[in-house]
Structure 1
Amino acid sequence: MELNLAMILFIPWFSILAVLFWMFPRQPRGGARKAFDIASLLLATGVATAGMQWSVHNAEPGYGHMWQQILATMMAYGGFLMVMTIAVMLRWAWLQQAAAVPRQE
């Protein structure tokens, strides 16, 4: 459990961010958008987990055991936010481009 403590502590905050990412903007919401959102959330969770695992195993032990958890928390949070920020920017650009293209019916 100690190895995953940073992720356990961040589950509520990551869940709030994930719900906000999923819910907004409300439209358009098609299959491609849902697939992009799911992939983004899975990638963000994977990067956060990998960063946390890496930092626990590579933190300098000379600074005490608590440093492992501090570094793991920073890496997990930073990795999650990095992926989510990139996903928000990509999705925004994608939706803007789709809105600019005239629809042919």
Structure 2
Amino acid sequence: MNPQVELNLALILFVPWFSILGWLFWAYPRQPRNAARTAFDSATLVLAAIAAFWGMHWGMHNADPHAGAIWKQVLATSVAYGLFLAVMTAALIARWRWLRGRRAAA
């Protein structure tokens, strides 16, 4: 296998699922949709992708080499997915509180 593909396999395999989760985060709730919300959602998706990419590489480089070749992919996938979900969950909670506060103020 190509070394670059092997190094990035976890992210390649999760791109469809990350795309679905990202689209759901972006699309709901539908309102309010303003420049601040668009900037927040965009920054969140970029940060989640960067965190997943970093976690995938960290997992590949820190997996126990004696556990077998597949362990690198398992660890990289688990860390990348966990970090992506952690960023998305934190942003979802922050956005919910932000929007709720704006609704209460209006």
CA deviations on 1:18-59 (whole Å, 9 max, x unpaired) are: 000000000000000000000000000000000000010010
Cα distance in structure 1, aligned partners of 2:62 and 2:30: 41
Aligned sequence identity (%): 58
Q: Does 1:100 align with 2:104?
A: yes
2:72 aligned residue (43, 64, 68): 68
Gaps of 5+ in 1: none
Cα distance, 1:62 vs structure 2: 0.5
Distance of 2:85 and 2:59 partners within structure 1: 17
Q: Distance in 1 between matches of 2:30 and 2:59?
A: 36
Unaligned runs of 5+ in 2: none
Match of 2:61 among 57, 62, 71: 57
Query: TM-score if structure 1 supplies the norm length?
Result: 0.96
Q: Where do residues 19-98 of structure 1 align in structure 2 (5 Å cutoff)?
A: 19-98=23-102
Letter in 2 for 1:73: T
CA RMSD for the aligned pairs? 0.4
Aligned residue pairs: how many? 102
- Residue matched to 1:10: 14
